[in-house]
Amino acid sequence: MAGFVNETHHLRHLIEIQRNTLSWRITAPLRVIRHLSKGELPTGSKITYVLGRIKDVYQEEGGKAVWSRIQARLPKKPTVSLKKNKASSSDSVANKAEILEKKETIEDKYLKPVSAECLSDFSPSYLIIAELSLRQCAKYRVWQKQEQLESLGWHVRVIDWREIFVAMTALQTCTNVIFYRVPAFESVEKLLDEAKRLNLPTWWEVDDLIFSEEHYKNNANLDSLSASERAAVLSGVKLFRNCLLACDKAIASTRVLAQEMRNAGIKDVSIIENAIDEQTLSISQQILQEHSAPDHGPEEVRIVYGSGTKTHDADFRVAADGIVAAMLEDERLTLHIIGDLTLPEVCDKVKNRIKKLEGRDYGLYMRLLAQADITISPLEKTIFNDCKSNIKFLEAAVLSVPVICSPADAFIQVVRDGENAVIATTPQDWKNAVLSLAADDVKRKAIGQTARQDVLERYSPQSITQHQVLPAFGRPYKKEESGLSVVSANIYFAPRSFGGATFVAEEMVNYLSKKSDISVSIFTSRPDMEWRANAAIRYRAYDCNVIGVKVPPDGDRVGGVDNPLATEVFRQWLQTVQPDIVHLHATQGLGLGLTRACQEAGIPYVITLHDAWWLCDRQFMVTGEGNFCFQNKIDLRICQMCEPSARHLHERATMMRVAMNNAALLLVPSQSHKNLFIVNGVPEEKLVVNRNGFVWPEKPRVRRKPGQPLRFGYVGGAETVKGYPLIRKVFEKLKTDRWELILVDNKLNLGIRSVFPESWKVDGVIKTVPAYTQSTMDDFYNSIDVLLFPSQCKESYGLTVREALARDIWVVVTEPGGQVEDIIEDENGTIIPIGSNPAQLQKAVEDLLAKEAELLTYENPYKDRLATFDMQGQELESILRTIVRERPQAH
């Protein structure tokens, strides 16, 4: 019955822990309410879900009054104030609904089930999500398992089950998962659901009968609990059982426990016994070398009992009468008890020869045990105890100390009575066994030595691994050699395709992944997701494995440079996919830790320098107002005056330089961008121009009909650095309505509306559209005649400029920078200087309005000079293969 009591205490402890997390469950909805009260009120199913969860939590936890106050603070309906004018061509309410629908669609894409076939691309590994607070259990069932699996070649990671979001992240990078002694609380159910989404094989493991309500109800010790405590304990048993039944397979420590698992409904159950590990072998060997026999003299025969906790009171009573009777007959006998134990009254007869010792750590416990002449392992005759393992026999045997034990099932599987241990059932058996061993020193030594030989043969790490662990788990499969394995990292990736760097990163992944001997995986960020906190998520895009991490908000520049969370997940990703090379694109937000992780793993990396983030804290070499700073060689003294509150600029510059210096190569999309880095001290031989490509049109050009207004397009979003304020100033000054302006709101795909032309005072028509995709690109360019690209910085390339030039679209572009390198003045575009004065842009627009008829038939005569994605991909492939082929091989 002692085992039942032990588990009762532990279950009550676990339930109390879960109850304590209610503070988080309550404050999380309050944080939502704070946002809602500011007017940030979603609509449709999302608000229904959020309010439903808040109501459930508060009403379930007795907070009806609080819920009433929350209701009183909520607006009755989401309200939208619209100011309509000629500039508004779409209904804002409809836009908000589309934004919400888009956001939910994106999240759905992240949460799609992932095929088990994807695991074949991963390095085989096990994640053990475990109860680690029970040290002895963790030693024998968790750390031993890790040791055994690693000896077979598996990579193993262990996480406490309470670290829910750490475990959620770890699930993304493992190929198998074991839940040890884990109850199916709501948070754990999310882990189980995630394991199923990822198609991971799952095991539930335990070494005690803690999942059988039937046996708990038959336990007389439950009668000492109140009705509420008894109900709580039984609900805890159900939690363990639910977790067991939610897994594919199970692992038991004994054959009786395995049968109980089968009775519960699990067909596939493996038996892996508790065993001797390297720590125990090392400690025992050291002890035996130091002391070949107990230190006390022949006038004492010492019995040692490792109780551990008071939950063994009932077990000890099985042997107490017999042991006391033996002690009364042989005055040399003493009893040393390690740990807590309530002695029965019969022990008062020999209390002067009983010594209690506090519990020790494992090493000290083994040293105390080594001082024994005899050790005992009494157990009540119950199904619960028959499910227990024979740890006390193993620990004594490895020290050559003879054991007297009860005939529990795990003991009788290995004990040969009188040869390697002594079995005792009745009080008389215990008395006889103690007296027999006490009287015969030779017999004690013989039994102890035989027990040690048997244990080392059957329970050694090698034996258990080969005969029990290997049949259950097998050896890790060999990852197929694919020729070249590449990890591509970019701050955004599909389904959140945002910005030119993302488009290039996706196209390069698309190009490389189509090669039969190249495998590609992606590291990127993810959006905020319900109930996921900081946990990563794995999904599929471009038929590749992708892992997304939470990154700091845009305004956190320090966090964007050094993101420990992303770095740790990236380390796990490198271990999982084991790439030959890493290709870093735009990593702001993901942080420079990615480069350190590559260096630690000995993996070469290349960086495509898409912009000036590697030189400028503001990324685009602009002032706080969004204007170009006109620096060429960066002077940090000027930067400090521009950002007086920033105190990290020198450290940032040092970190950036180290990251670039340790790269195998630095790729730049234009000669202009290459020159910028050369001027700033990067060796020219380190820099290679790999011009960005574009997608050739798939649809024929649809031209504006005569008499229709001239159609302008702008794709830079609302950012000052992209020239948005200039465009507004220019078009508000136009004295004609013979124009149409298409504004791309590039954040709509992120679920955010950032362009609001309703307040513009114009005569023409303005339309806002979401960022185009590859499939909608031709439709967008067929809707415009002129692309406005008034960027206020030296762009590294200017992808939209090339897309427009390939489609016979006239381009108005600023200089200097990579954006202007394919423009021939007055032949395929108009070049204006970078600057905040709108006069040059206004003149360019007015000149084009004056010759709108000429643009009806315009064709770009220099399309053959443009780079394509195939050209860029071929160059990149050659670069990556060369670096991998020529890198020094580790010895």
pLDDT tens profile 690-710: 999 988 899 999 899 998 999
Same domain, 299 and 245: no
Does residue 877 register a pLDDT over 90? yes
Whether residue 42 lies inside any domain: the answer is no
Task: Note whether residue 441 is domain-resident.
Answer: yes
Q: Are residues 737 and 800 in the same domain?
A: yes
Q: Is residue 817 included in any domain, yes or no?
A: yes
Q: What is the pLDDT of residues 816-830, one digit of tens each?
A: 888 999 999 999 999
Q: Is residue 36 part of a domain?
A: no
Is pLDDT at 8 greater than 60 in this prediction? no
| Residue 680 sits in the same domain as residue 802 | no
Greater confidence (296 vs 595) lies with: 595
Q: Any idea which of 43-57, 113-127, 495-509 has the lowest mean pLDDT?
A: 43-57
Q: Do residues 227 and 158 share a domain?
A: yes
pLDDT band at 626 (very low <50, low <70, confident <90, very high): confident
HEC string for 534-592? CCCEEEEECCEEEEEECCCCCCCHHHHHCCHHHHHHHHHHHHHHCCCEEEECCCCCCCC
Cβ atoms within 10 Å of 161's Cβ, excluding its own: 23
Q: Per mean pLDDT, which range of 110-119, 205-214, 293-302, 876-885 is the poorest?
A: 293-302
Residue 336, in any domain of the structure: yes
The per-residue pLDDT for range 144-164, each reduced to its tens digit, is: 999 999 999 999 999 999 999
Asked if 209 and 304 sit in the same domain, the reply is no
What is the structure's pLDDT at 623? 86
Structure tokens at 378: 């009494």
Cis omega (within 30 of 0) on the bond before 495? yes
Share of the chain above pLDDT 70, in %: 86
What span, in angstroms and rounded, lies between the C-alpha atoms of 199 and 204? 16
Region 291-306 average pLDDT: 86
Tens digit of each residue's pLDDT (9 = 90 or more) over 830-848:
999 998 789 999 999 999 9
Residues 664 and 592 occupy one common structural domain = yes
232-236, 439-443, 853-857: which has the minimum mean pLDDT?
Answer: 232-236
Q: Is the pLDDT of residue 249 over 80?
A: yes
Q: What pLDDT is recorded for position 354?
A: 96
537 and 682 assigned to the same domain: yes
Comparison of pLDDT for 168 and 49, the residue scoring more: 168
Q: Give the pLDDT score at 229.
A: 75
pLDDT-derived band at 40, boundaries 50, 70, 90: very low
pLDDT of residue 597: 97
Please check whether residue 255 is in contact with residue 271, taking contact to mean a CB–CB distance below 8 angstroms: yes
The angle formed by the CA atoms of residues 241, 243 and 246, to the nearest 5 degrees, is: 110
pLDDT of the residue at 620:
85
267/298 same-domain check: no
> How many Å apart are CA 535 and CA 134, to the nearest integer?
26
Query: Which domain-ending residue is among 209, 241, 271?
Result: 271
| Range in 82-96, 156-170, 291-305 the model is least confident about | 82-96
**In Å, how far are 437, 583, 669 from 678, measured between CA atoms?**
85, 21, 14
What is the structure's pLDDT at 358? 85
pLDDT of residue 791: 92
Q: Which residue has the higher pLDDT, 54 or 183?
A: 183
pLDDT at 117 over 70: yes
Q: What is the pLDDT of residue 279?
A: 93
Higher model confidence: residue 64 or residue 240?
Answer: 240
- Helices within 291-440 (DSSP H only): 313-329, 362-370, 383-386, 391-397, 409-412, 427-439
For 752-770, the pLDDT digits (tens) are: 888 888 889 999 999 999 9
Domain boundary among 424, 459, 494: 459
Exposure b/e, 569-595, CB count within 10 A at least 16 = b: bbbbbbbbbbbbbbbbbbbbbbbbbbb
Which is higher by pLDDT, 15 or 351? 351
Residue 471 lies inside a defined structural domain of this protein: no
**Considering its fold, how many domains does the chain have in total?**
4
Query: From residue 771, how far is each of 107, 268, 724, 754, 763 by CA, in Å?
Result: 18, 51, 15, 12, 25
Indicate if the pLDDT at residue 310 is higher than 70: no
- pLDDT tens, 212-240? 988 777 665 566 567 887 777 778 899 99
**pLDDT higher than 50, residue 44:** no
Q: Is the peptide bond before 816 cis (omega within 30 degrees of 0)?
A: yes
> Are 218 and 340 in a shared domain?
no
| Average pLDDT estimate for 578-607 | 96
How many whole angstroms separate alpha carbon 204 and alpha carbon 200?
A: 13
Q: What is the chain's Cα-based Rg?
A: 36
Residues in the chain: 891
Judged against a pLDDT cut of 70, whether residue 491 lies above it is answered with: yes
Residue-averaged pLDDT of the chain = 86
Please give the DSSP secondary-structure letter assigned to residue 124.
P
- As a whole number, mean pLDDT of residues 90-106 equals 47
pLDDT of residue 872: 96
- What range does the domain containing 240 cover? 116-271
pLDDT on residue 11: 56
Give the pLDDT of residue 47: 44
Percent of the chain with pLDDT over 90: 66
Does residue 503 sit in the same domain as residue 435? no
DSSP result, 10-46: HHHHHHHHHHHTHHHHHHHHHHHHHHHHTT----THH
We report the CATH number of the domain holding residue 359 as 3.40.50.2000
Give the model's pLDDT for residue 222: 60
Which pair of structure tokens corresponds to residue 550?
A: 């939470």
The predicted model gives 50-54 an average pLDDT of 47
pLDDT: which is higher, 658 or 74: 658
Question: Higher pLDDT residue, 879 or 854?
Answer: 879
- Does residue 260 sit in the same domain as residue 284? no
Residue 67's pLDDT is: 46
Cα within 13 Å of Cα(457), Cβ side = 8
What pLDDT was estimated at residue 295?
Answer: 78
Q: Are 425 and 532 contained in the same domain?
A: no
Residue 8 within a domain? no
Q: Is 70 exceeded by the pLDDT of residue 53?
A: no
pLDDT at 34 over 80: no
Does the structure show a pLDDT above 90 at 103?
no
Q: How large is the average pLDDT for residues 592-608?
A: 97
Helices 839-850, 724-733: inter-axial angle, 10-degree rounding: 50
pLDDT over 50 at 45, yes or no: no
Residue 87 pLDDT level (bands cut at 50, 70, 90): very low
Nearest to 333 by CA among 378, 296, 295: 296
Note the pLDDT of residue 500. 80
pLDDT at residue 794 greater than cutoff 50: yes
> Given a cut of 90, is residue 674 above it in pLDDT?
yes
Those residues whose C-beta lies under 8 Å from the C-beta of residue 568, and which sit 6 or more positions away, are none
Residue 589 lies in a domain: yes
**Which among 398, 426, 459 is the end of a domain?**
459
